[in-house]
Structure 1
Amino acid sequence: MNLTTTAYGTWSGGRFMHYGETLSEERYIECIRLAYESGIRTFVTSDVYGNGKADELLGVALSGFDRESYCLVGMIGHDFYDGQREGNKGYPRFTNPALRGEADYANYLKMACEKSLARCKADRFDLVMLHNPDEIGYTSDAVWNGMKALKTAGLADRLGIAPGPANGFTLDLINCIEKYGEDIDWIMLILNPLEPWPTSLALPACEKYGVKVMTRVVDYGGVFHGDLKPGHSFKPGDHRAYRAQGWVEEGLEKAAKMLPLADKYNLTPLQFASVWNLSLPMVECVVPSFFEEGVEGSKSIDAQIKDFAALPDVKFTPEEIEMVRAIGDNTGCMALKGASKRYQKGERADEWPMREDLLEVAGRYELGTDW
């Protein structure tokens, strides 16, 4: 089964990624089941969320449904088996030289995939993605031979890559697609009407090589759920608190200029953001974050799920797409992750020096030299 247009991610609900109120295990499971019962048929999990606990709860939630009736997407790459968590940096990637050499990449990937599947109570992933790779993950033949071996072993039907945790990696992605595009079926990227940059820069390469795109954060941190108000106070530890000061106010101001287009098509704000994404080349799946803000009058997570599940099958015109992009233009709003001229050496798993081959990629795609 291939991915469906709408998808549900196990980062929702506040248990494993800190957004809004934290759901109890029982409530967390109920929300996954509600998503299925509302018509959502693609479910995305990562083995590192809760060190396997998100996989387990997803397996419990979906255990009563026919396995052939939904698409299961897994992500592997953070080594919480042998690695030690480094505070906000999280767990090291499995490609960290302190953990293993390239001769052991395939064995790790197979082990991680099998353990994740067991927790999900499944025998295969419809899609398994390399999660938040470091520079080695984008460039290593040994990594991608190990990924291909997962298909050969019957553990996955499709392969993909999920960059992160923050935005960026544009040149790294394009270069990876050019090297391993025959084996990459899907990419998961951050994209929404208020964050068209830099993801849009990679879409031409995805189209050229036939790589489909799943987009996350389509809700823009909750702005398109309609519950955030100017001056909103986030709980300590909420991931959205790390965004630049004033992002809620600026986002609401820009969204207000876009939403007359939603009225034209009779769309809710979340549906509007999803349709805009799906109107772009190669974007075939959207997966928002669902959470409860815990403030008076805010939507329940149930209402958010039902709103998204009712997404109509419409597309915006090229002129409408461009109008929204111009309003939401966020070019240069953040320091991007991945290869950059800012670094002389790589000191973090998501930051490394620029390479000449990537500047050559930028030249061919007319993406400039200011990286």
Structure 2
Amino acid sequence: MDLTTTAYGTWSGGRFMHFGETLDEARYRSCIQLAYEAGFRTFVTADVYGNGKADELLGEALEGIDRDSYCLVGTLGHDFYQGQRQGNRGYPRFTDPELRGPEGYLSYLRMACEKSLERCRTNHFDLVMLHNPDEAGYTNPAVWEGMEALRGEGLAGMLGIAPGPANGFTLDLIHCLEQFGDSIDWAMLILNPLEPWPVGLALPACEKFGTKVLTRVVDFGGLFFGDMKEGHEFKPGDHRAYRPDGWVEHGLEKIERMRPIADRHGLTMVQFAAIWNLSQKPVESVVPTFIQEAGDQARPIEDRIREFAVMPELRLSAEEIEEVKAIGDNTGCMMLKGASKRHETSERPDEWPMRADLLQLAGRYGLGEDW
């Protein structure tokens, strides 16, 4: 089964990514079940969330539902089996040379996939994605030979790549598509009307290589759901509290400038954000973060799920897409991850030195040399 227009991610609900209130296990499972009842037919999980706990809760929530009635997406790449967590850097990627060499990639991927499937209470993923790869994940043929083996063994129907968690990796992604595009059916990328850059630079390459795009963070940290107001206070530990001061107010001001377009089509603002994404080739699916905001006045997370479950069929015009892109233009708002001229050595799993072949690639795609 291929991905549907809307998808539900197991990072929702605050248990594994710290946004808003943390749902207890019963409510967390009930939200997944509500999502299915409301019309979601694609569910996305990652084995590293809770060291497998997200997989388990998803499997419990979907137990008894016809497996052929929904698309299941798994993501693999963080080695929490043998690797040691490195503070806020998380677990090392399975391609870390201190853990194994290329000859061990396949056995790791098979093991991780089988264990994730067991926790999800099924025997196959419709799509398996490489989760937050390091440089080896983008460049080493042994990685993608291992991913293809998962498909060949029936553990995965399709294959994909999910860069992140921070934005960027544009040149690395395009290079990966050039080298291994025949293996990559889907890419999960960050895109929304307030973050058209830098993923917008990679969309033409995804279309060129026939890679479909699932976009995450379409809600922009919950802002498009409409519950956050000027001066919003985040509870201690909420990831969004670490964003630059004023990001809520700045985002709300831009959203108000976009609102007439949403009103013209009878869309709520989160529907509008999703439709803006889906109006661009080759975006075919959107997955938000469902958050139970702190405070007694916050709208229930269940209402957010119902609102997002089924998207209207309409698409924005090319002129509307560009109008929104101009309002939300965030070019240069952050230092991009991946290959960069800032680094002479690779000291983190998501940053590495720029290579000459990537600058040549940037020239071919008209992306400039300022990386």
TM-score (norm 2): 0.99
Q: Who is 1:361 aligned against?
A: 361
Could you tell me which runs of 5 or more consecutive residues in structure 2 were left unpaired when the two chains were aligned. Answer: none
Deviation, structure 1 residue 88 = 0.4
Deviation, structure 1 residue 56 = 0.2
Letter in 2 for 1:155: L
Deviation, structure 1 residue 310 = 3.2
Q: Distance in 2 between matches of 1:147 and 1:332?
A: 34
Q: Distance in 2 between matches of 1:107 and 1:123?
A: 18
Q: Distance in 2 between matches of 1:109 and 1:205?
A: 27
Q: Who is 2:70 aligned against?
A: 70
Answering whether residue 173 of structure 2 is matched by residue 173 of structure 1, we say yes
SS in 1 for 2:292: coil
Q: Distance in 2 between matches of 1:237 and 1:353?
A: 32
SS in 1 for 2:192: coil
SS in 2 for 1:189: strand
Q: Who is 2:284 aligned against?
A: 284
Letter in 2 for 1:15: R
Runs of 4 or more off by more than 2 Å in structure 1? 295-298
Letter in 2 for 1:339: A
Q: Who is 2:261 aligned against?
A: 261
1:176-325 equivalent positions in 2, closer than 5 A: 176-325=176-325
Letter in 2 for 1:321: I
Deviation, structure 1 residue 299 = 1.6
Q: Is the contact made by 2:13 and 2:290 (CA closer than 8 Å) also made in structure 1?
A: yes
Q: Distance in 2 between matches of 1:245 and 1:153?
A: 49
SS in 2 for 1:40: coil
Answering whether residue 131 of structure 2 is matched by residue 131 of structure 1, we say yes
Q: Deviations over 1:108-138 (max 9, x none)?
A: 0000000000000010000000000000000
Q: Distance in 2 between matches of 1:299 and 1:317?
A: 32
Instruction: Give the number of equivalent residue pairs.
Output: 371
Range with bigger deviation, 148-157 or 229-238 = 229-238
Q: Distance in 2 between matches of 1:135 and 1:293?
A: 36
Q: Distance in 1 between matches of 2:234 and 2:2?
A: 37
Q: Deviations over 1:199-225 (max 9, x none)?
A: 000000001010000000000001101
Q: Distance in 1 between matches of 2:264 and 2:43?
A: 30
Deviation, structure 1 residue 235 = 1.7
Q: Who is 2:14 aligned against?
A: 14
Letter in 2 for 1:35: A
Q: Deviations over 1:65-105 (max 9, x none)?
A: 10000000000000000000011000000000110011000
Q: Deviations over 1:164-222 (max 9, x none)?
A: 11000000000000000000000000000000000000000001010000000000001
TM-score (norm 1): 0.99
Q: Distance in 1 between matches of 2:242 and 2:336?
A: 15
Answering whether residue 110 of structure 2 is matched by residue 107 of structure 1, we say no
Q: Is the contact made by 2:234 and 2:294 (CA closer than 8 Å) also made in structure 1?
A: no
1:158-169 equivalent positions in 2, closer than 5 A: 158-169=158-169
Q: Who is 1:98 aligned against?
A: 98
Q: Distance in 2 between matches of 1:157 and 1:257?
A: 42
Deviation, structure 1 residue 240 = 1.1
SS in 2 for 1:157: strand
Deviation, structure 1 residue 232 = 1.2
Deviation, structure 1 residue 298 = 2.2
Q: Who is 1:122 aligned against?
A: 122
Q: Is the contact made by 2:40 and 2:310 (CA closer than 8 Å) also made in structure 1?
A: no
Q: Who is 1:30 aligned against?
A: 30
Q: Distance in 2 between matches of 1:279 and 1:332?
A: 24
Q: Distance in 2 between matches of 1:121 and 1:49?
A: 16
Q: Distance in 1 between matches of 2:96 and 2:361?
A: 26
User: RMSD between aligned alpha carbons?
Assistant: 0.6
Identity of aligned residues (%): 69
Q: Distance in 2 between matches of 1:205 and 1:55?
A: 32
Deviation, structure 1 residue 305 = 0.4
Range with bigger deviation, 228-237 or 106-115 = 228-237
SS in 2 for 1:2: coil
Deviation, structure 1 residue 243 = 1.6
